[in-house]
């Protein structure tokens, strides 16, 4: 599972000009579920995001989402599982089947909410317009594989 976490002063997602989710101060979390990802990866991703100290306090990276009373906007983003290594057309062989991906993406959102964070979501599988104001800018890649943090 791979996610992009962006600290935002506001973010919203629209489907066919209808706002389906939005937050003020918090984190926009773009999530891709890859083949083989499991509930443990979704749980770890949520736990990491909730505890991540990326908001300013005494230092520029001192406070967590919960500390600042921030919210999280979770948006499925299967293209993060894409590969552009060969040719000019992305391959999505690593992306999970949509039915399972939707369940795991929702699990991430549910686990974040279970920690007392206000969560809003995009609409899985829809063509979405995502608008955000990246605060900082502050952006992190979070990867969870086999129940452990991977990559960055």
Residue whose C-alpha is closest to residue 112's, from 26, 36, 32: 26
**Residues labelled catalytic:** 77-79
**Is 11 in contact with 28 (CB distance < 8 Å)?**
yes
Q: Both tokens of residue 116?
A: 């007392």
Residue whose C-alpha is closest to residue 10's, from 137, 136, 107, 132: 132
State the pairing for strand pair 26-32/148-150.
unpaired
Separation CA 59–CA 56 (nearest Å): 6
Which residue reads 């995009």 in tokens?
A: 122
**Is 124 in contact with 102 (CB distance < 8 Å)?**
yes
């Amino acid at each position: 599972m791979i996610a992009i976490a962006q600290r935002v002063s506001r973010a919203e997602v629209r489907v066919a000009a209808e706002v389906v989710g939005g937050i003020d101060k918090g984190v926009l979390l773009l999530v891709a579920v890859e083949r083989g990802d499991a509930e443990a990866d979704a749980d770890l991703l949520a736990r990491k995001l909730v505890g991540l100290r990326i908001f300013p306090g005494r230092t520029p990276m001192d406070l967590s989402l919960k500390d600042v009373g921030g919210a999280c906007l979770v948006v499925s983003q299967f293209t993060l599982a894409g590969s552009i290594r060969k040719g000019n057309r992305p391959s999505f062989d690593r992306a999970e089947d949509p039915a399972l991906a939707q369940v795991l993406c929702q699990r991430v959102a549910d686990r974040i909410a279970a920690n007392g964070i206000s969560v809003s979501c995009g609409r899985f599988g829809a063509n979405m317009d995502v608008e955000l104001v990246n605060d900082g800018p502050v952006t992190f890649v979070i990867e969870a594989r086999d129940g452990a943090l991977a990559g960055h």
